[in-house]
Amino acid sequence: MSVLFLNDSFKSLDYLNVIRNLIPDIDKQNPHNLNNKRFPTLKSVVRMTHDSSSIAGFVNLKTLSRPVRASFLKYDTNAHDAVNIQFTSGTTGRPKAATLSHFNILNNAFLIGNNCGYDNKANIALPVPFYHCFGMILGTLAAAVRGGQITIIC
């Protein structure tokens, strides 16, 4: 991984402090070319923020020009590369992380959509968060690969 995109925080979790604990000297480094032995391939941490404030060591997505943004997003990928880490519910013990590939996620969405009979007329009610396996794969992506729509229930 060469670029990490994150929000500043979520609920009580401060992601910027998590990164500062992992890379203590991040605020003294060039945010477009980080150099860290623990994470040798990581070159930038990009804040997905709505404001244009800057924080030393972090890149603010909102302040980047379009060509620079596009360069962050260009990379070679393989269908079997890891793209997502989904956590189990922990019903039989502690929650466990499952690493999913591009192929795994899209194939799962395609097959679920097929088994459920989704088509371009499907309207899927989505009452769960997008980070949930139903929210991401069974709802959002299953609708996308079948041409359906989703109704987000907040």
Average pLDDT value over all residues in the chain: 84
On the question of pLDDT at 104 being above 70, the answer is: yes
For Cα atoms 99, 101, 103, give the angle at the middle one, nearest 5 degrees.
Answer: 150
Burial class (CB in 10 A: 0-12, 13-18, 19+), 25: exposed
Determine the pLDDT at residue 65.
60
Residue 3: pLDDT band by 50, 70, 90 thresholds?
confident
Burial class (CB in 10 A: 0-12, 13-18, 19+), 47: buried
Neighbours of 84 (CB within 10 A): 15
Determine the pLDDT at residue 16.
94
Q: 82-152, which class in CATH? A: alpha beta
Pairing of strands 13-14, 44-47: unpaired
For the stretch 48-97, pLDDT in tens is 887 778 899 999 888 776 655 555 565 667 888 888 888 777 778 887 88
Pairing of strands 44-47, 82-87: unpaired
Q: What percent of the chain has pLDDT over 70?
A: 92
For the stretch 21-41, pLDDT in tens is 999 999 999 998 999 999 999
Pairing of strands 9-10, 13-14: antiparallel
CATH 3.40.50.980 in the chain, residue ranges: 82-152
Its pTM stands at 0.53
* Interval 124-131 mean pLDDT: 83
